[in-house]
Structure 1
Amino acid sequence: MSPAPPPRDRWYVLAVLTVVYSLNIADRFSISTLIEPIREELHLSDSGIAFLTGVALAVFYVTLGIPIADLADRVSRRNILAISIAVWSGMTALCGLAHSYWQLLLARFGVGIGEAGGTPPSTSILADKFPPARRPMALTIFALGACLGAWLGSQVAGEVAERSGWRAAFLVLGVPGLAVALVVALTVREPRRGQLDHSPPAAAGTLGDTVWFITRQRSAVHLLLGGSVATFWSWGLMWWTPTFLQRSHHMTVGQAGQLLGLMHLIAGTAGTLLAALLMARRAAADPRYVTRLLGWVTALTTIPSIALYWVQSRELATVLLWVFVPAVYFYIGPILGLLQNVIPAGMRATACALLLFIANVANLVLAPQLIGWLSDWFAAAFSAGSESLRWALLLLAPTGFWAAWHLWTSGATIREDVARAS
């Protein structure tokens, strides 16, 4: 095990990569905030807009994520990351120049290609900047980028769209990313792989090696499934929540974006920091504490996630959202950190990409498309009108209990699995 990098260096890298993650997340929340004005202009059904905004991104995002991560386990992660940021930022800006369904579809494909190279190299770099006991805390702070990005993609996109149209929102969010790509390329130093682990790093494993190792790590399997179902539940609900507020509670796109943006920034940050505070010391002593806490928090917050789509009062729905939103962020950093600890150094980027592959199929393809189809079906079969989306969301919300079971169960063998990985 090599000496840890200077604190100043590792905290700087953590700050930069957190900004990078925020830009990644901002795109997804901008498109979900802008679903209704885009759908109305392009005359699409709910299932049609779900394909354009979710599936189009996911086609390349989830299929390229694993091969790019496999490459990141072998070559410069910093360079892959810088190129990826430039691609997705440029294509996000091009979404603002689209004037037809096909132009916007092609731009969304490009965003997916770029975003595929974002998170796996970032988490792998951070794993080599922070020692094992500090990784869950560091990656929980990294997850703050999701709160910042959700605020940018919700409030900023909503306000810009209300004043200048949805195309201007994409331009405002896309162009700054090009400068961030340059900062990463020029200032982030590539760390030596496995330099902080307790044993010399093994050579980079193949995709098959990584999958085979994961199948023998019960905790890793449950972390992958728990994280994936949790994103299906939480991010699937949040994908359609701006549209739900606009239809069922008669908000404008700017009002919905402002409300949700503040929730993501304030409540999401609180949930993320609370996770870091609760886990910073106890995680080092016993990772089972983390898995149990994740299970309890996810199960308990599933209850308000159901109720908020049931109640008719805008005020009560707003209160329930304030309770639910912190849970959307609470599990992200801890799961990423725990997964890094149960996987050998040479397989971490690929393992992260596998998690992202399954999770993003769940929250970018299955959840949005399923909700879109169900909403269309309720509207046609029961003449539900604007309330069809409410009933579709109520069917998705209870899946939080499923996620909670996986997260709790991952603790059964996690101490043995950490020892085997190191």
Structure 2
Amino acid sequence: MAVVRLQGAKDRGLCRSPAPDHLWQGRQEASAPGAVCGQGAEVIFRDHGHKLAWTVGVLLLANTIGSIDRTALSVLLPQIKSEMHLSDTQLGLLTGLAFSAFYAIFGIPLARIADRGRRPLLIAVTMTFWSLMTAVTGLAQGFAQLIAARMLVAIGEAGGVPPSHSLITELAPEHRRPLALAIHSAGAPLGALIGLAGGGILAAAFGWRITFVILGFVGLPVALVVLAVIDEPRRNAVVEPIPAASNPSPLLKSRTFQLLMAGFALGAFAMAGLLQWLPSYFSRAFHMPISSVGLQFGLSYGLGSISGMLGGGWLATGLMRRDARWALRLASLPYLAAFLPLLGILLAPDPRLAMALVFIGTSLASMAYGPAYAMIQTVAPPQLRGLASAISLFVANLFGAGLGPLAVGWLSDVFGGDPAGSLRAALIALFPVLAMPAVLYALASRAYGRETIPNS
């Protein structure tokens, strides 16, 4: 770990000592000027004003912009397919693996930079890059250029979430982390709401190319806000690193962490495959125009996911005061509860009923995100939190979101026949996978109980 010296009385914090088996519990106050957190301890910076609220708010805005740039593509697929004469397999590659593989691979080295360097600067620089590459997407003249542009967007966005999670975790006490991280994570469905609804309206008015250009340039001023508003907490501490602190081996050997990663991957596989293709399904099955699909699906999915994330974070905040394992139990149940509503979307005879089920299903499934992210940050040693977040995004994106949409597109082409019927059958094939995260998170709760030594 590291020896950390607090520099002034205003820099009140907590020394947090590691429990055996690389899980981190137990705290002692370190509030006096010049106080030292000993070897193997973490300093958790505290600001009793509004620093946490400002940080979460600005990072929520940045996450929202990233989600807009990432998810608007799904509502633009019909126009892109028509202009470039692409197959569903190609569209699945475009929405899945082309983005997710690069997002996952580059997330790990960028997280290592975040664990050692200035996190607000990293977020601002990578946000500027992904915003410019989103605008460049609108200039693509063929499938290969479109794939290349999406890969570059992914490289930029890979530098957003891991340093954000690390910053929020460092500022928030353990029992408040689920809600703080849930608020930040709500930027994903909020961005999807704006990207799908706004993207559909812009595409109907200006076409998909101009839509990408507009969405890309919106992010540039937000990157400046990140740099101007968010401080780097580490600037107030003198840290003497110990080489073993950066060794990820104990984290990777944690049974709790392994089960969490498996749950993330399978949950992302099912949910990404479903959500990336549902706008196209509504367009094919109910013959809805792109502007209507974007607006209605964006509102149903966006509002449902936001309410679910915030509700799950709020519940976990209270329950984690009793036992941290409640976060994992709470992450397990939503996938079972969401199973029937999400399946009902594909069986509904009416688009209004299907959209209502989108809201209900995504609201229930999204309750898992805040508790799961909080447990990943709780299990990880302090100087590996950016890496832990990046690893979770790696497995969720490369094996989950990367392969989920691609599998749906491939199955749709294999089934053939009626475009709406083949896509419906491909989406239904995802549902056995949707129940698996519930089992894995329940097992992770048991493993955490065996690996953790209670607070003294």
Q: TM-score, normalised by structure 2?
A: 0.85
Name the SS for the 1:369 alignment partner: helix
1:209 to 220, 244, 247: 247
Partner residue in 2 for 1:123: 165
Give 3-state SS (helix, strand or coil) of 1:286's partner: coil
Report whether the alignment pairs 1:259 with 2:259.
no
Which amino acid is the alignment partner of residue 349 of structure 2?
Q
CA distance in 1, matches of 2:251, 2:350: 46
Q: Who is 1:114 aligned against?
A: 156
Does structure 1 residue 332 correspond to structure 2 residue 332? no
Deviation by residue 1:106-134 (Cα, 9 ceiling, x = unmatched): 22121011011111011011111112222
Determine helix, strand or coil for the equivalent of 1:281: helix
Q: How far apart are 1:419 and its partner, in Å?
A: 4.8
Alignment match, 1:10: 52
205 and 238 in structure 1: CA distance in 2 versus 1, 3 angstrom threshold: farther
Match of 1:411 among 445, 450, 455: 445
Conserved 8 A contact 1:341-1:418: no
**Which residue matches 2:436?**
402
Which runs of 5 or more residues in structure 1 are unaligned? none
Pairwise mapping of residues 359-370 of structure 1 onto structure 2 (< 5 A)? 359-370=396-407
- The Cα of 1:262 is off from its aligned counterpart by 0.9
Query: Based on CA coordinates, which of the two structures has the bigger radius of gyration?
Result: 2
- 1:298 lines up with 2:332 in the alignment: no
Displacement of 1:204 in angstroms is 7.7
In the other structure, the counterpart of 1:134 is: 176
User: What's 1:59 paired with?
Assistant: 101
Q: How does 1:91-170 map to 2 (within 5 A)?
A: 91-170=133-212
Q: Report the CA distance between 1:194 and its aligned residue.
A: 12
Report the Cα offset of residue 386 of structure 1: 2.9
Report SS of the residue matched to 1:73: helix
2:313 corresponds in structure 1 to: 276
**Which moves more between the two structures, 212-221 or 44-53?**
212-221
Cα separation, partners in 2 of 1:206 and 1:140, compared to 1, 3 Å:
farther
Match of 1:235 in 2: 272
SS at match of 1:128: helix
Q: In structure 1, what is the equivalent of residue 231 of structure 2?
A: 189
Q: In structure 2, what residue type is equivalent to 1:219?
A: T
Aligned partner letter, 1:87: F
Deviation track 1:217-243 (CA, whole Å, cap 9, x = no partner) reads: 222111111122111111221010000
SS in 2 for 1:413: helix
Q: Tell me if structure 2 keeps the 8 A contact 1:203–1:346.
A: no
* Alignment: residue pair count: 414
Deviates more, 1:395-404 or 1:2-11: 2-11
> Which residue identity is paired with 1:126?
I
Question: Which amino acid is the alignment partner of residue 28 of structure 1?
Answer: R
- Asked if structure 1 preserves the Cα contact closer than 8 Å seen for 2:45 and 2:171, the reply is no
Q: Which amino acid aligns with 1:308?
A: I
- Structure 1's 75 and 95: CA in aligned 2 closer, same or farther, altered over 3 A? same
| C-alpha contact (below 8 Å) 1:291/1:411 kept by paired residues | yes
Query: Shift of residue 28 of structure 1?
Result: 2.2
Paired position in structure 1 for 2:81:
39
Structure 2 unmatched ranges of 5 or more: 1-42
The sequence identity of aligned pairs, in percent, is 33
Instruction: Provide closer, same or farther for how the CA distance between residues 193 and 242 of structure 1 changes in structure 2, counting only shifts above 3 A.
Output: farther
Q: Residue 18 of structure 2 corresponds to which residue in structure 1? A: none
**SS of residue in 2 equivalent to 1:117:** coil
- Partner in structure 2 of residue 316 of structure 1: 353
User: Distance between the aligned counterparts of 1:18 and 1:288, measured in 2?
Assistant: 26
Q: Is the 8 A contact 2:60 2:187 kept in 1?
A: yes
SS at match of 1:331: helix
Matched, 1:29 2:77: no
* Stretch moving more, 122-131 or 266-275: 266-275
Instruction: Kindly provide the amino acid, as one letter, of the partner of residue 333 in structure 1.
Output: G
Instruction: Return the match for 1:393 from 398, 410, 427.
Output: 427
**More helix as a share of residues:** 1
Q: How much has 1:146 moved relative to structure 2?
A: 1.3
